[in-house]
């Protein structure tokens, strides 16, 4: 029986130096991370299980907030940022837990870790898919909050989009490491938020402050940009740490 | 207890011929002779491997050599450490002590280069329930960067005998036997030179088990290293040429040679108990 198979050609020859090697590694990492993320999104688009649960829960939170808080503009302006980021935190945890539970059901995480792809690509792929799902929920929750509470949330859309994107990335990156680590732990559903939320406090703090600065009257754009930069640094720091520790945490 | 050993049969390990090799592997390395491209794992050296889970000892100083073109039956009672050893060889479990070396024509392989050569069939199917059989295999083909054309995928599904009508159905609708066939197809698709199988006959009917045994024999004859963890001695009798028995984490028996069902049963009952 022939075991011949096709593979992509290796970067060889005189031109394939150290730079080409590093470039190849990054390109392979990005390619495989995209494949894994697309796999997650494809499964989700088919089952719609996680997204529907997250969106429904997020919308429910908005309705509860709208009913529970008085329609006093000053009070609303003060509490809306907290409502938005609470919705992101809670729905993000639901999404994270379920996205990794799916890999546990048929031990598919093992198949991903066994594949000849950088294990970092597995982490990045899962984080990208989770971030996109958190963003999708934010896209539903933010306008709902604006409508129900009658606040001009989108007066400065660019910084708002930036802070929400950075927040989603932060939740997904930090959460993916711990969700993967807790994959084989029985009480993972309880442990994930208990471990994750303390680490996400700076992220939620920055998100809340930034959103508050954007909806203030007048808007404090300088303050908003400060918190956007803060969140950018937070994400970068946790990305570096996650990349560093992911493989050692997921291998038994 | 010391493992009893006989002289090795079959001579030097042989490489596996391929049209192209894994030179595109950025993380793996093949050190040693001449920088030639790796040609598949032709030797696995397990040296004094131990594994502890907290205070519980799963494996204690296990040493074993696996050579190309051989089928090793890894036997033992439940909890003997077979699955842990398979996990360590598959690179998914880190040993507490000892090492596992993978060689290709004398050169050491590491990292991604090793994983590219490993095919694994475990207790779970390792396939996504929401995806169809073809989609599951296409995903694996994409991750391994091998030909994932419909002809190739159907070819491997034909080999494992997965019903054509079921191939475009979500895998979650499959019976246990069908899932096992799909899992086997996933393991065979990448044409591994090191195939690790944990209870591969589970869920298969008698014909399926015999066909699988035949396929494993063919893979061994093609030069692959096949390691089978099983309690189904009948399915591997006459095909395995290397038997290793674990008891409470220790290798208590290792011998190379052809075994009939009766011989396998005898050594199993004598050493595993």
Which tens digits make up the pLDDT trace of A146-170? 888 888 888 889 999 999 999 999 9
Question: Which of A25, A106, A118 has the CB atom closest to B125's CB atom?
Answer: A106
Q: Is residue B148 part of a domain?
A: yes
Domain check: are B130 and B98 in the same one? no
Average pLDDT over residues B185-205: 87
Tell me what the pLDDT averaged over chain A comes to: 84
Q: Assess if residue B14 is contained within a domain.
A: no
How many other CB atoms are found less than 10 A from the CB of residue B96? 15
Q: For residues B197 and B272, state if they share a domain.
A: yes
Spell out which residues of chain A touch residue B219, defining contact as CB-CB under 8 Å: 1
What angle separates helix B150-160 from helix B133-144, to the nearest 10 degrees?
Answer: 120
Check if A25 contacts B (Cβ < 8 Å).
yes
User: Are residues B27 and B105 located together in one domain of the fold?
Assistant: yes
Contact status of B152 with chain A (Cβ, < 8 Å)? no
ipTM confidence score: 0.79
Q: Does B132 lie in the same domain as B185?
A: yes
Beta carbons of A8 and B123 less than 8 Å apart: no
Is A235:A134 a contact under the CB 8 Å cutoff?
A: no
Angle between helices A18-47 and B133-144 (to 10 degrees): 170
**Judgement on whether residues B239 and B187 belong to the same structural domain of the protein:** no
d(CA B62, CA B84): 11
The per-residue pLDDT for range A35-58, each reduced to its tens digit, is: 999 999 999 888 888 888 888 998
Tens digit of pLDDT for each residue in B109-135?
888 889 999 999 888 889 999 999 999
Tokens of B87: 């996990």
Report if residue B217 sits inside a domain.
no
Interface membership of B151 toward A (CB under 8 Å)? no
Asked if A48 has any chain B CB less than 8 Å from its own CB, the reply is no
| B76 and B182 both lie in a single domain | no
B94 → closest Cβ in A5, A42, A251: A251
The answer as to whether B145 is a domain residue is yes
Task: Provide the token pair at B44.
Answer: 């696995």
Q: Which two tokens stand for residue A172?
A: 């997904």
Does residue B210 lie in a domain region?
A: no
Q: Count other Cβ atoms within 10 Å, centred on residue B85.
A: 29
Tell me which of B135 and A69 has the higher pLDDT: B135
Number of domains chain B contains:
2
Give the domain range for residue B229: 1-6+23-31+38-117+193-204+225-273
B93 and B180 co-located in one domain: no
The alpha-carbon gap from A197 to the nearest alpha carbon of chain B, in Å, equals 28
Contact criterion met (CB below 8 Å) for A120 and A29: yes
Are B258 and B176 in the same domain? no
Nearest to A215 by CA among A171, A134, A153, A129: A153
B244's enclosing H/E stretch is strand B242-247
Same domain assignment for residues B148 and B176: yes
- Same-domain check for residues B80 and B197: yes
Residue B4 has a pLDDT of: 43
Asked whether residue B233 falls in the same domain as residue B266, the answer is: yes
Kindly state whether residues B127 and B261 are assigned to the same domain. Answer: no
How many A/B residue pairs have CB atoms within 8 Å?
130
């Amino acid at each position: 029986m022939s075991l011949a198979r096709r593979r992509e050609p290796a970067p060889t020859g005189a031109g394939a130096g150290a730079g080409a090697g590093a470039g190849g590694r990054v390109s392979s990492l990005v390619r495989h991370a995209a494949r894994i993320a697309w796999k997650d999104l494809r499964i989700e688009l088919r089952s719609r299980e996680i997204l529907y649960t997250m969106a429904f829960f997020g919308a429910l939170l908005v309705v509860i907030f709208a009913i529970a808080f008085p329609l006093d503009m000053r009070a609303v302006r003060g509490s809306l940022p907290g409502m938005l980021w609470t919705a992101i935190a809670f729905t993000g945890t639901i999404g994270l837990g379920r996205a990794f539970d799916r890999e546990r059901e048929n031990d598919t995480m093992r198949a991903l870790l066994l594949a000849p792809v950088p294990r970092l690509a597995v982490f990045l792929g899962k984080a990208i898919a989770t971030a996109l799902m958190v963003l999708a929920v934010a896209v539903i929750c933010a306008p709902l909050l604006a409508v129900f509470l009658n606040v001009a949330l989108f007066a400065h859309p660019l910084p708002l989009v930036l802070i929400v994107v950075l927040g989603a990335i932060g939740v997904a990156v930090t959460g993916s490491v711990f969700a993967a680590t807790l994959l084989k732990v029985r009480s993972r559903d309880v442990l994930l938020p208990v471990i994750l939320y303390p680490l996400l406090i700076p992220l939620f703090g920055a998100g809340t402050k930034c959103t508050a600065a954007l909806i203030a009257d007048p808007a404090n754009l300088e303050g908003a940009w400060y918190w956007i930069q803060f969140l950018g640094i937070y994400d970068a720091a946790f990305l570096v740490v996650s990349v560093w520790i992911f493989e050692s945490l997921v291998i038994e | 207890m010391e493992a009893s050993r006989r002289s090795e049969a079959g001579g030097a390990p042989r490489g596996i011929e391929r049209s192209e090799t894994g030179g595109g592997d950025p993380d793996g390395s093949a050190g040693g002779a001449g920088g030639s491209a790796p040609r598949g794992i032709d030797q696995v050296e397990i040296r004094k491997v131990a594994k502890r889970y907290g205070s519980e000892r799963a494996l204690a100083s296990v040493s074993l050599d696996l050579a190309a073109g051989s089928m090793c039956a890894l036997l033992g009672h439940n909890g003997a450490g077979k699955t842990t050893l398979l996990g360590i060889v598959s690179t998914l479990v880190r040993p507490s002590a000892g090492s596992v070396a993978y060689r290709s024509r004398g050169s050491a392989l590491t990292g991604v280069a090793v994983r590219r050569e490993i095919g694994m069939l475990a207790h779970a199917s390792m396939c996504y329930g929401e995806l169809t059989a073809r989609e599951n295999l296409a995903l694996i083909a994409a991750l391994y960067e091998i030909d994932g054309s419909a002809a190739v995928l159907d070819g491997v599904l034909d080999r494992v005998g997965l019903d054509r009508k079921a191939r475009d159905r979500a895998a979650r609708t499959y019976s246990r036997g069908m899932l096992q066939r799909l899992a086997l197809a996933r393991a065979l698709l990448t044409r591994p030179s090191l195939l690790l199988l944990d209870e591969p006959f589970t869920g298969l009917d008698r014909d399926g088990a015999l066909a699988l045994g035949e396929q494993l024999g063919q893979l061994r004859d093609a030069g692959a290293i096949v390691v089978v963890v099983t309690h189904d001695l009948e399915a591997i009798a006459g095909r395995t040429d290397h038997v290793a028995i674990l008891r409470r984490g220790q290798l208590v028996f290792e011998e190379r040679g052809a075994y009939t069902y009766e011989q396998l049963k005898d050594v199993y009952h004598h050493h595993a108990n």
